[in-house]
Structure 1
Amino acid sequence: MGKYYYKTSAETKRNSKTFDNLQNLYPDIVLIEGSTEDLINYREKIKTGSTVYFNDYFKLLDDFKEDSRFFMFFYMECYYANVDICFINTPECNISYIKSILNTLDIHPRDGETELVVRKLIESNIKQAKINQSMAFNLKSTALQTAKENGVQIGVKKGTVFKNPKADSLKEKIKMHSKAFNGNMSDVELIEKLGIPRTTYYKYKREIKHNKKTAK
């Protein structure tokens, strides 16, 4: 069955590469271009069993912000036609996932109540999606901050050497004062004197020893 992708306005502004990456997985995937109105009108061309991919639930909803009812109209049209909607970054809102919840809990909405039940499930899942995204963001920020404190350069080739005047100055002080080199201070005393984290201190100390070996 067919595979389709709709690029939201937020992705267009940021020059998102999600569609390009999906093309590597699915060479025949079709890009649906235009506005949300064009997306709704395109629905009739999408056959049963197909999948429509979106980058993110929140980004798509932003494009429908003038009237979110049209979003649910499109969503339910796909739902009844057995066309899966797949949100890459918010899979909690995928049609296939919503249907799996109903099947697992053996829930069979009465006539006229399906959209209400689906809407409630989406609202509940979105709350969890927001928590997941917030946690992922916080973990990434913490990891980047830790890497920065340890002198790790993000987004560069391994082995690339950068000049760091502050680090070079600290290394000179370590060589001057540490018992392991030319001084008479213990590691504990020197860490306190320099006012740097233990991880940073031992990282610089290892680099000093490594440089001495390679210089021989």
Structure 2
Amino acid sequence: MKYGYCRISRPKQSIERQIRNIKAQYQDSVIVQEVFTRTRMDRRQWQLLMKRVKAGDTIIFDSVSRMSGNAEEGFAAYEELFNRGVNLVFLKEPHINTDTYKKALENNVQLTGSNVDYILEGVNRYLMELAKEQIRLAFEQSEKEVEDLHQRTREGIETARLNGKQIGRKKDAKITTKKSLAAKEIIRKHSRDFNGTLSDVEVMQLTGLSRNTYYKYKRELKA
């Protein structure tokens, strides 16, 4: 099986570009989509995919950042999947595809059976660590990009605040929706506090509001 894993951080973002890039090279891949803001890997769809994939399956990512924005967790997941025989493909970072990594491990210097073998064994270990380091660096770069984005966001908010712009909702600001207006109309019509005939519990059942929201609306109506 081939799976294309696509992730965005916020629902308003478009995931189509990732899907398009993956489908262009792996048309028969099954797309797994996820909206997840944090860098951690305890994501529902990702965890389900981790349980589903078997040796010989392939997971394709548009970039390494879609797999993980956390270097330590990303590298650990990479090693786990590699050891399970699952192929990983990164369209924007092909140098860390598992096939590339596998070749680096297989291209060991052949031992000679002589006294210099201990030197050659050291060279092989060095080559293996070099391949691992390439993968670590890719995940570290992904984590740095996430941190840089957060830093730019914080700086932008601080700049806006210093320039006197309102950040977020004003304190005590009220949001009026069609649903709240309809609920308030029912409360005004049926609650005993507004010359109706129903008790608070009965009006709550009629509106389907939670206790806290119901009494909040009542306070607003009285005000």
The bucket for the TM-score relative to the shorter chain is 0.3 to 0.5
Q: TM-score, normalised by structure 2?
A: 0.43
Q: TM-score, normalised by structure 1?
A: 0.44
